[in-house]
Chain A
Amino acid sequence: MKPTEEQMKAMLRTMLTIRGFEATARALYTANWESGNFLGALHSYEGQEAVATGACACLRQDDYVFSTHRGHGHFIAKGGDIKAMFAELLGKEAGCSRGRGGSMHMFDPGKGLMGGNGIVGGGIPLALGPAFAANYLGSDQVTVTFFGDGASSQGVFHESFNLAALWDLPLIFVCENNRYAVGTPASQGISVPNLSVRAAGYGCPGVTVDGDDPVAVYEAVSEAIAHARAGNGPSLVEAVTHRHSTHCMVMRETREEPELDKMKEYDPIPRFEQRLQESGIIGADELTQLKEEVSQLIEAAVAFAENAAFPDPATVADGLWVG
């Protein structure tokens, strides 16, 4: 399936929001760090916006997403509230996890956002659950589990794929292959050139797409979703993409200049803007206006978060158990 023109415009808006969010989050992180406050690890999604955007554009609100340590993009693309996200980053009570989770643990179950994960591959077996529940309850909801090329080397990826295939679970494995597992290049960590071939090992469809093109991601994921909703079980979509910055804010960059320079060529946002302009889907003025709107929303969200209250330490045990 191809996205409509309206969907493509919405996708550009999502990508600009993710980029703006991450740039602002990095600035907040740096400013806080300089004054002695750590805001966790902060794994930037800059450069990978097309993957979350293309994949989540195919989903309904009642479909589920299991995210990763690098999860801000998934949260925004699935409809999460950026005010609550900034508040979470700053450890505020108004945060999307009440300041208990932080960057890697943002939840909004009402929107199908079932959390990021601090363990590489940790979300993959959990994602089997809502997929199992859909079959158990007879609904046509699907679940998407995002994970990186690094997580594809974890045992849980293989166990989970086997079980999902065995039980025809409506689960879409979306591998964001940014070619680095923290700092280890894929060539030193993965035994095959394209991860999508691993789906064949479980008798399932697997496809590799340009993960810097949201339309290519949309087309592949929508096909995988149709397959899952029809009761045919899981698929693997490998989206090859590029991480613009270091693994996370507390780690130094290990890649060399020439490689980092190429990130500008891969950057999904200028590519997509150009495509929408050339095909007449968005005009120059409308694009300028869109960017202005996005930056105003981000500014307002940061102001909301900065003014929000910290949790009351007396409530520290809230939420451990029901009852």
Chain B
Amino acid sequence: MAKTRQVVFARALNEALREEFERDDSVFLVGEEVGGIFGVTRGLDRRFGEKRVRCTPISEAAFTGLAVGAAMVGLRPIVEIMYLDFVTVCWDQIANQAAKLRYMSGGQISLPLVIRGQQGNLTREAAQHSQQIEGWCAQVPGLKVVMPATVEDAKGLLKSAIRDDNPVIFVEHRGLYDLKGPMPKGEYTTPLGVAKVHREGTDITVVATSLALQKALAAAEALADEISVEVVDPRTLVPLDTETILQSVRKTGRLLVAHDAPVRLGFGAEVVRAVTEEAFAALQTAPRVVGGTNLPMPYSSVLEDACIPSEDDITQAIRQVVKS
């Protein structure tokens, strides 16, 4: 096991950016007030200069389009969307352009592009600043969708995303930015499309993404004397490592998917589909999804808390699946 050090999630992302900027001159960053807000890009402007760390006007469509076009001619842009909710104002550049141009060109161009930013809840910013966009993106053929849930993966996955020759949507939860955890020392990357079994167990498989993974791990720990919970983080939604999930369910015979995004037509439904199609015979009880409500996020803290699954909600859902 490589030596590790304790850092916070946002710092791990910052280090990934620094290392990839050092490694490849074609990597550059555009976005609003990059170098400052939320700390992920902090200090990059001073280290690499405004040529490579470009603060933009509030023109998501223009600067995302710029990044797509720059990727078409071989640069490796990283776009920061200040709140991922704002992909709505550059959705054409993401869904109609970045996702499709390579395919429509018959494979003549490539799009080494990362679009990253933070999303989620906890800061009580109401419905236009508290969404989960991963499902929107995962519905568009051509986009890769990556969601780190640990400090180690934050750095390793971002480095892989930057080196990937395809458009990657890199989804960070702002509730994870201050999470402290071990990070391997030295150079490493984490491959896209490979799930990770964070905790082994025999009674139930819990597949959880982003902040929900941390809640699922806490729930599994709290239930340790009662139920043996296996916790799997897919890490990338597209491409999805279905095989690791299926292997786990074949072992445990039970499945719960936990995420913050609304359950309707969501990632959990997709995992349940894949598992029921491929491993129906292994299921001892009905699989379940615990996720966000199908509502715009309300402002009031008590209302917001009612819309996102808590650790306790996940604990109850585990018990329900195991004991049904």
Contacts and interface: CB of A to CB of B under 8 A. Distances in A.
B68 to A, nearest CB: 5
Interface in A108-157: 108-109, 114-115, 117-119, 122, 124-133, 136, 155-156
A131 B28 CA distance: 15
Interface stretch (A91-99, A185-193, A248-256, A261-269): A91-99
Given A119-B92, A129-B71, A133-B75, A319 B62 contact: no
A89 to B, nearest CB: 14
Contacts of B105: 97, 100-101, 105, 107, 109, 115, 319
B97 interface: yes
A115 B101 contact: yes
Nearest to B111: A322
Contacts of B186: none
A98 B66 contact: no
A129 B103 contact: no
Nearest to B60: A159
Contacts, number: 144
B72 A129 contact: yes
Contact of B96 (A96, A119, A159, A318): A119
Contacts of A117: 97
Contact of A100 (B92, B106, B112): B106
Contact of B142 (A132, A320, A323): A320
Contact of B107 (A98, A108, A129, A130): A98
A139 B107 CA distance: 25
A10 interface: no
Contact of B28 (A124, A126, A136): A136
Contacts of B70: 128-130, 132-133, 136
B129 interface: no
A163 B92 contact: no
Interface in A78-96: 95-96
B102 A118 contact: no
Given A125-B93, A129-B72, A160 B65 contact: yes
Interface in B8-58: 28, 51, 56-57
A162 B57 contact: yes
B56 A163 contact: yes
B97 A128 contact: no
A284 interface: no
In the complex, which range does the number of interface residues on chain B fall in? Answer: 35 or more
Contact of A319 (B61, B77, B103): B103
A287 B279 CA distance: 72
Nearest to A128: B66
Of the listed residues B56, B68, B108, B142, the one surrounded by the most CB atoms of chain A closer than 10 A to its CB is B108
B96 A114 contact: no
Of the listed residues B70, B106, B109, B166, the one surrounded by the most CB atoms of chain A closer than 10 A to its CB is B106
A129 B69 contact: yes
A133 B96 contact: no
Nearest to A124: B65
B59 A107 contact: no
A234 to B, nearest CB: 12
A166 B106 CA distance: 34
A29 interface: no
Contacts of B61: 125, 155-156, 159-160
A130 B71 CA distance: 8
Nearest to A320: B103
Interface in A219-259: none
Interface in A9-68: 64, 66
Given A122-B97, A129-B70, A155-B61, A320 B108 contact: no
A135 B68 CA distance: 16
A95 to B, nearest CB: 7
Given A122-B97, A125-B66, A132-B70, A322 B166 contact: yes
Contacts of B103: 100, 319-320
B110 interface: yes
B141 A160 contact: no
B63 interface: yes
Contacts of A130: 69-70, 72-73
Contacts of A98: 106-107
B104 interface: yes
A97 B66 contact: no
Nearest to A93: B106
B296 to A, nearest CB: 24
B112 to A, nearest CB: 8
B51 to A, nearest CB: 7
A248 B301 CA distance: 53
Nearest to B93: A125
B74 interface: yes
Contacts of B97: 117, 119, 122, 126
Interface string A297-320: 000000000000000000000111
Nearest to B28: A136
A119 to B, nearest CB: 6
Contacts of B93: 125-126
Q: Lowest 7 A-B CB distances belong to which pairs?
A: A129-B69, A125-B65, A319-B107, A98-B106, A322-B165, A129-B70, A159-B62
Given A100-B106, A133-B70, A160-B65, 5 more contacts: A119-B96, A125-B68, A130-B73, A163-B66, A322-B102
19 contacts: A66-B69, A95-B106, A96-B106, A101-B105, A107-B105, A108-B108, A119-B97, A124-B65, A125-B64, A126-B65, A128-B65, A129-B75, A130-B70, A132-B69, A132-B70, A133-B69, A163-B66, A320-B102, A323-B166
Interface of B: 28, 51, 56-57, 59, 61-75, 77, 92-93, 96-97, 101-110, 112, 141-142, 144, 164-166
Interface of A: 64, 66, 95-101, 105, 107-109, 114-115, 117-119, 122, 124-133, 136, 155-156, 159-160, 162-163, 166, 318-323
